[in-house]
Amino acid sequence: MHERRTPAGGPESDIDGLVRHVALADWLVLAVVVLYELVAARGGLRLPDVVACAVFGAFGVTLRTAWLRSRGATARLELETWAIAAFIAFVVWRTGGADSPLQSLYLLPIVLAALVLPGLRVALLLGAIVLAYGATAALDTVAPLAPGALAGRVLAAVGPLMIVAWLTSQLGTAVLAARRRAAALVEGDPLTGLATRAVMIETVRRELGDATRRQTPAALLAIDLDGVRRLNELYGQEAGNAALQLVADALRRTLRETDLAARWGGDEFLVLLLGADAAAAQAVAQRIRHAVYATTLDTGARHVRCAVSVGLAAAPRDGQDAATLIACAERRLERDRELRRAATGGHSAAGTAGAAG
């Protein structure tokens, strides 16, 4: 139940870490190309190859200058992926075109792009690679292909690359979510084991900015455990604490690995649903209601059922910044709470329903 992209060091700190990990990627590509030319190909670099390698190496050095480092990790990584793809396209053309043994090098820029760039930008890079491959195959003067055969060959070559791009994007999301889960556990709420209010506020700010850049939806659920005061009065504070733990367990069972749940304060919880629009968030809210109500709470004197009120806010429909979205979710939570109280004649569901123990 947790999240995706960047810790407290700033909105791009996770991406900065990725850039550091792939800092040698362009140099490794260059080394592979040079070794291939020297050992497996023609026994030496020709002038066009030397010029291309020199330009690519100079770009790699420029990419690490102080001026470009100030442009942001995402921008630098995008520049690097396009530069690597362009260099590989030239090398593939020079080493056999559609039959070049170096075509697998295209995987590197695709993987890097799929990890952090928005889907549209990854699609643009894939499109450019498809065009480059198709051009090299079409210009093959040794064995020119008919249009149908050419299309089939291009699809066979780039189809696996598209699959890799999709799988890498999913894997990147899961890995970054796992990192956030570990960070949230370190500062978790001692009673429920969920993230704390401070962790949630920082994460919502971070993730909404990231969702805006990636043009993906996100939603917040503000959740209130109904009738905690009545539970405390009837069965003691331990029963109220057990009810809060019951809700936390229901959230853990219901939410995805990429979502984040936090104890917002007292008997309230806040859930961040990444990639969920209003309709999807409403479905999650219903599942949470059912999961809470389906579990009975043993108070010692009797078994009771708990219930929750839920307020939903979705970005970008209800706002795009953390403060606006949280305020909207809390307003709708209050409205739902009042409607539920009116429906039960002013009595909360918690502590009043269930079978006698």
Selected from 3.30.70.20, 3.30.70.270, 3.40.50.720, 3.40.50.2300, the CATH number assigned to the domain covering 188-343 reads 3.30.70.270
pLDDT under 70: residue ranges of the chain: 1-24, 41-44, 64-73, 140-158, 169, 172-187, 211, 213-214, 344-357
pLDDT score at 176:
63
Q: Is 181 exposed, middle or buried (0-12, 13-18, 19+ CB in 10 A)?
A: middle
Return the closest-CA partner of residue 133 out of 83, 166, 92, 162: 92
Integer Cα distance of 272 and 262 in angstroms? 9
Global model pTM greater than 0.75: no
In degrees, to the nearest 5, what angle opens at C-alpha 292 toward C-alphas 281 and 307?
95
Integer Cα distance of 126 and 171 in angstroms? 18
Return the closest-CA partner of residue 130 out of 97, 113, 155, 99: 155
- Rounded to the nearest 5 percent, the helix, strand and coil shares of the chain are 65, 10, 25
pLDDT score at 280:
94
What is the longest distance spanned by two Cα atoms in the chain? 88
Integer Cα distance of 85 and 183 in angstroms? 35
pLDDT score at 49:
83
Q: Is 295 exposed, middle or buried (0-12, 13-18, 19+ CB in 10 A)?
A: middle
Integer Cα distance of 105 and 110 in angstroms? 9
Question: How many residues comprise the chain?
Answer: 357
Q: 207 and 325 in contact (C-beta within 8 Å)?
A: no
Domain boundaries, the chain: 13-175, 188-343
Helices 278-293 and 237-254 cross at an angle (nearest 10°) of 140
Return the closest-CA partner of residue 179 out of 98, 233, 260, 106: 260
Instruction: Give 126-181 as a 3 state SS string.
Output: HHHHHHHHHHHHHCCCCCCCCHHHHHHHHHHHHHHHHHHHHHHHHHHHHHHHHHHH
Integer Cα distance of 169 and 111 in angstroms? 8
Write the DSSP assignment of 268-280 as a string of letters. EEEEEEET--HHH
pLDDT score at 112:
78
pLDDT score at 175:
65
Pairing of strands 268-274, 218-225: antiparallel
pLDDT score at 294:
92
Integer Cα distance of 314 and 186 in angstroms? 28
Integer Cα distance of 220 and 211 in angstroms? 13
Helices 73-94 and 47-63 cross at an angle (nearest 10°) of 170
Integer Cα distance of 281 and 271 in angstroms? 10
**Residues 175-216: pLDDT tens digits?**
666 666 555 555 678 889 898 888 899 889 888 877 676 678
